[in-house]
């Protein structure tokens, strides 16, 4: 198969696998990450085939939906082998997948390749702004978490284990992750886009708190 054929077949496979997701990690999330990664890649000197494969496969082995919470991309690796992807490309994509996710405010980002930075930025851009707000509450509902608990303090997780075990309310999640992502973007393009999306979240949180306290009622 050509690279174009592999990307097309992979997109069809992922669409089928994630069509029924209600956690905010559905096919359309992956589609947005894919398309945003392609756009960012146009401004960078990077391997587009690696970027597209990693973007499409980045959630296939996500620890959040894996009972063992193992991040090893077994399914992604097997799929690429089935498609005849070069073993070196397969390994590069697997390394991106293993390092793409946010693992806590104080946890070092171990992503090393430009292709990985692009996919990571595209994924993080979809976690902020208006869509990020919607996804945060979708995931909170999926995990049966409260919308907000004013008696619970925010946690700046020092380890991936702490982050994985967190049961924070959705509003806390903004302060523990989403509002931090603007300053964690890797590429110039993503940094620019993140500025505006960050402001959308700040305005939302101001309004949310006003309504929570009833201070908007005259």
Q: 69 pLDDT band (50/70/90 cuts)?
A: low
Q: Judge whether residue 161 has pLDDT over 70.
A: yes
Q: Higher model confidence: residue 178 or residue 70?
A: 178
User: What's the pLDDT score for residue 170?
Assistant: 96
**Contact by Cβ (8 Å): 132, 109:** no
Q: Judge whether residue 210 has pLDDT over 80.
A: yes
What percent of the chain is predicted at pLDDT more than 90? 78
CA proximity to 85, closest of 166, 139, 13: 13
Contacts 24+ apart (CB under 8 A), 135-141: 135/24, 135/29, 136/24, 136/170, 136/173, 136/174, 136/178, 137/170, 138/22, 138/23, 138/24, 139/23, 139/24, 139/25, 139/170, 140/169, 140/170, 140/173
Average confidence score pLDDT of the chain: 93
- Stated pTM of the model: 0.94
Q: 67 pLDDT band (50/70/90 cuts)?
A: low
Q: 72 pLDDT band (50/70/90 cuts)?
A: confident
How far out from the chain centre does Cα 73 lie?
16
Q: 165 pLDDT band (50/70/90 cuts)?
A: confident
Q: Higher model confidence: residue 95 or residue 215?
A: 95
């Amino acid at each position: 198969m050509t690279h174009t054929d592999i990307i097309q077949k992979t997109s069809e496979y992922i669409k089928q696998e994630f069509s029924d997701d209600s956690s905010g990690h559905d096919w359309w999330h992956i589609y947005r990450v894919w398309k945003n990664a392609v756009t960012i890649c146009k401004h960078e000197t990077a391997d587009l085939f690696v970027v597209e494969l990693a973007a499409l496969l980045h959630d296939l082995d996500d620890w959040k939906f894996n009972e063992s919470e193992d991040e090893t991309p077994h399914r992604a690796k097997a799929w690429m082998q089935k498609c005849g992807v070069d073993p070196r490309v397969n390994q590069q994509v697997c390394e991106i997948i293993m390092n793409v996710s946010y693992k806590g405010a104080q946890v070092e980002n171990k992503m090393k390749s430009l292709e990985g930075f692009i996919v990571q930025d595209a994924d993080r851009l979809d976690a902020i702004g208006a869509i990020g707000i919607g996804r945060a509450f979708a995931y909170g509902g999926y995990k049966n978490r409260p919308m907000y608990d004013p008696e619970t303090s925010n946690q700046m997780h020092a380890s991936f284990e702490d982050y994985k075990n967190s049961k924070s309310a959705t509003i806390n999640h903004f302060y523990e992750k989403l509002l931090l992502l603007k300053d964690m973007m890797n590429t110039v393009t993503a940094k620019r886009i993140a500025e505006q999306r960050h402001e959308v979240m700040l305005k939302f949180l101001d309004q949310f708190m006003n309504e929570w306290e009833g201070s908007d009622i005259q």
